[in-house]
């Protein structure tokens, strides 16, 4: 079982409009809703790839009930979310169907009480006993300590469970110092962590800070990986136009599934980039176009620089 942790779950709502313009009214042509938050997106992709997945984190209020009702209809995903008194947030993605661009609106998460955080930690340690890997994903809602991910990483390492971290800001800085097996920042998050806008230099700096491996998302330029086995750059055949929401989460699913299946790094990166690009092409946030994914697998370019490890 793969465990994904999403402290700040969300109900993802996608609106499609013909042309998004400020200061005007818009007629929405299509609305979709999906259980969201980074770890839930990761779990949905992992399940589609054939893995057993358990999700945990926090959920509450009417939005939380709607999220859990929809999650119950997701094959291969087990709900181990912790109920809280606050209300789960919503995220709104507005897709301009003329340009393919997306505007994102993210609500704040619920306030988590000390008792709710303690209940989560207890449940997390129990879930680790049957986990083959764990992904710690996304922002921390109010009330959760800023060093929470560092503590969760240490607990996973003590249990002998490989752990992937995908977050930003101070939680990322503290989490990296706890020595996760893999960190997956985007270019901006990596620059904020290291102070360098050169991805090559920044990945080396991030790895020196404690992470065993770093895989940086470079947007249309694909993924740059620095691992104990070497450095690789994986790129898609062309820039994809569509809704990028969840593309990074699909990359995490590709990396995590590759870790569990013990695939060589180039194969992990190929899968991650293909999934990410196929997610941009999907009509709803947090899903991927299976046909596009199958086609893209043969079109990803992976170049190696083993001397950089």
Q: Which residues are catalytic?
A: 249
Pairing of β 82-83 and β 301-305: unpaired
CA–CA separation, 152 vs 213, rounded Å? 18
Which residue has tokens 């770890």? 39
Which are the contacts of 223, defined by CB distance < 8 A and separation ≥ 6? 215, 216, 217, 232, 233, 234, 251, 269, 272, 273, 276
Give the three-state DSSP class for 232.
strand
Q: What is the dihedral of CA 275, 277, 278, 280, to 10 degrees?
A: 120
On the CB side of 25, how many CA atoms lie within 13 Å of its CA? 1
Whole-angstrom Cα distance, residue 247 to residue 275? 7
């Amino acid at each position: 079982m793969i465990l994904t942790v999403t402290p700040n779950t969300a109900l993802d709502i996608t609106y499609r409009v013909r042309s998004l313009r400020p200061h005007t009214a818009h007629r929405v042509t299509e609305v979709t809703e999906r259980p969201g938050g980074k770890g839930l997106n990761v779990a949905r992709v992992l399940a589609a790839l054939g893995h057993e997945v358990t999700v945990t984190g926090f959920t509450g209020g009417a939005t939380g009930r709607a999220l859990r009702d929809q999650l119950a209809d997701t094959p291969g995903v087990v709900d181990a979310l912790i109920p809280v008194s606050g209300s789960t947030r919503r995220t709104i993605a507005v897709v301009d169907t003329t340009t393919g661009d997306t505007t994102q609106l993210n609500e704040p998460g619920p306030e988590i009480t000390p008792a709710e955080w303690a209940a989560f930690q207890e449940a997390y340690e129990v879930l680790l006993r049957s986990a083959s890997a764990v992904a710690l994903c996304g922002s921390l809602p109010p009330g959760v300590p800023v060093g929470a991910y560092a503590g969760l990483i240490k607990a996973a390492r003590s249990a002998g469970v490989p752990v992937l971290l995908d977050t930003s800001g101070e939680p990322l800085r503290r989490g990296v110092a706890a020595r996760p097996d893999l960190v997956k920042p985007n270019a901006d998050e990596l620059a904020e962590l290291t102070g360098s806008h050169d991805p090559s230099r920044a990945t080396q700096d991030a790895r020196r800070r404690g992470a065993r491996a770093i895989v940086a998302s470079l947007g249309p330029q694909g993924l740059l990986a620095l691992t104990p086995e070497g450095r690789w750059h994986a790129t898609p055949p062309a820039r994809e136009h569509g809704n990028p929401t969840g593309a990074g989460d699909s990359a995490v699913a590709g990396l995590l599934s590759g870790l569990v299946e013990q695939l060589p790094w180039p194969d992990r990166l190929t899968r991650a980039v293909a999934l990410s690009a196929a997610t941009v092409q999907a009509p709803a946030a947090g899903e991927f176009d299976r046909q596009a994914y199958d086609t893209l697998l043969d079109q990803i370019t992976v170049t190696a620089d083993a001397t950089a490890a």
